[in-house]
Amino acid sequence: MLHISDIHFKAPDCLDPWMDPDASIRTRMMRDLGEQVGKLGEVGAILIGGDVAFKGASEEYDTARGWIQQLSQISGCPKERVFVVPGNHDVDRGMIKKAVAIQNVQHAIASAPAGKREWKLSQQLRDRPSGQNLFEPHAAYNEFAAPFNCQIWPDKPFWHQDVPLGGGVNLRLYGLTSTLLSGQEGEDDKAGDLYLSPLQTVLNPVPNTINLVLVHHPVDWLFDGDAVDDALTSRAILHLFGHKHRQRAVMEANYVRLGAGAVNPSRHDKPYDPGYNLIRLEVEGNGHDRRVKVEVHQRRLQENPEMFVPIFAGHGKTVFESIIQLPEEAEIPRLDVIKPPAASAAGQADKAGDEIAAQDAEAALGDEDKRDLLYRFWSLKSGQRRDIVNELGLLEEGEMKLPEPERYGRALIRAGQRKLLDKVAAAVAKLEN
């Protein structure tokens, strides 16, 4: 896996590669990546830890798409195997500064007493106008993230996808959103301003599955940082952070925590250390002795001569290593085939069953063929997407008014839940032809 963060495509500079002062660093990074792929093998997933853009502007993401396609080709990673989370620069702070409604919902959560902040966040998310206001500054990010099935909305403030590792083990990727309170009053954030909440750190254990968490802000930037730290260390094997522009590798017996160097840090940063991480996971052994071997290769830019070089792990080694035990576990019935218990309020039972099924349906969209379908679906014109979901009855009342990333994100998860993805695939193929 390739782990990068803080690319900071900044308009108008990034719109002209001949006038973009950061373009040469990205080019050197891609050339070095190509050499590493030749040694280590092709990349199976690209994990982007936020700050794709600089001010959350649509034209910045247009440039980012082209670069990520190049990155996919050089790394040998299928373009639909890109995963992304938002950073503070993916939040449109100009929009927040102009919109009192957005300011109000952020303030309501941020000013709540510590013991009531989780409840206040839940309350704002459940209220449709407030929830939509909270996510409005992520609109351009969501348009960019939708083809990768990494968009977020009030009912789904984070995403999760399953990727098979082999050896009977699944890797469950969690993309958590640390930016819900970012840009309050249109201003820069300070450490401790941001909030993840227990809503995002459930990380419900699944047999023979290891959890990877991708999030932009490290725990010391979070109001609930200690609680998040405790949850991650006990519930996830891999923790991937960005934001600080500092590469770090903490290799413990039960988890690995990585900080990503910025692909394009500010040229005023001292030290100026562009960098990226390569992570290899390998399942070894079986039964009681099954384990996951984690290898991390960290690369950073050396100034003179200008080239990427390894970060040493000690004793002359260029690979950080950890072996984490993962004994085989008995499977339990899947949640999406458990029917909700009989209830006097049948509607409530049906809704609970739909929510459970939708959770697993989203995770199942991590399958390579399904992600390819989603990427192709989002490559269609807006009207074509609308026709498909309407024909298959995948939208519910009022959902046509939602922003497209949420509207069709809901519809595609619903298609998986109702086992209609094959019909979506047929409709997409018909339009492509």
Contacts of 208 (CB under 8 A, 6+ apart): 168, 169, 170, 326, 328, 329, 331
Three-state DSSP at 192 gives coil
The closest of 245, 312, 308, 254 to 272, measured between CA atoms, is 245
Residue with tokens 């609680």: 227
| DSSP of 34-92 | HHHHHHH---S-EEE-S--BSS--HHHHHHHHHHHHHHHHHHT--GGGEEE---GGGS-
Query: Tell me, what's the pLDDT at 358?
Result: 53
Contacts of 100 (CB under 8 A, 6+ apart): none
**Tokens found for residue 57:** 């502007």
Query: Tell me, what's the pLDDT at 314?
Result: 83
Q: Which amino acid type is present at position 393?
A: G
**Tokens found for residue 6:** 């803080």
Report the alpha-carbon distance of residue 258 to residue 275 in Å, rounded: 12
Query: Tell me, what's the pLDDT at 340?
Result: 44
Task: Report CA dihedral (312, 317, 318, 324) to the nearest 10 degrees.
Answer: -100
Ordered mean pLDDT values, 10 residues apiece, the chain (433 residues): 96 89 93 96 96 95 95 93 97 96 97 95 96 97 96 96 92 97 95 96 94 97 97 97 95 95 88 94 95 96 93 91 94 56 46 52 88 94 96 94 96 95 96 90
Half-sphere exposure of 187 (CA within 13 A, CB side): 9
pTM beyond 0.85, yes or no? yes
Contacts of 328 (CB under 8 A, 6+ apart): 168, 208, 286, 287, 288, 290
DSSP state for residue 161 in the 8-state scheme: E
Query: Tell me, what's the pLDDT at 353?
Result: 45
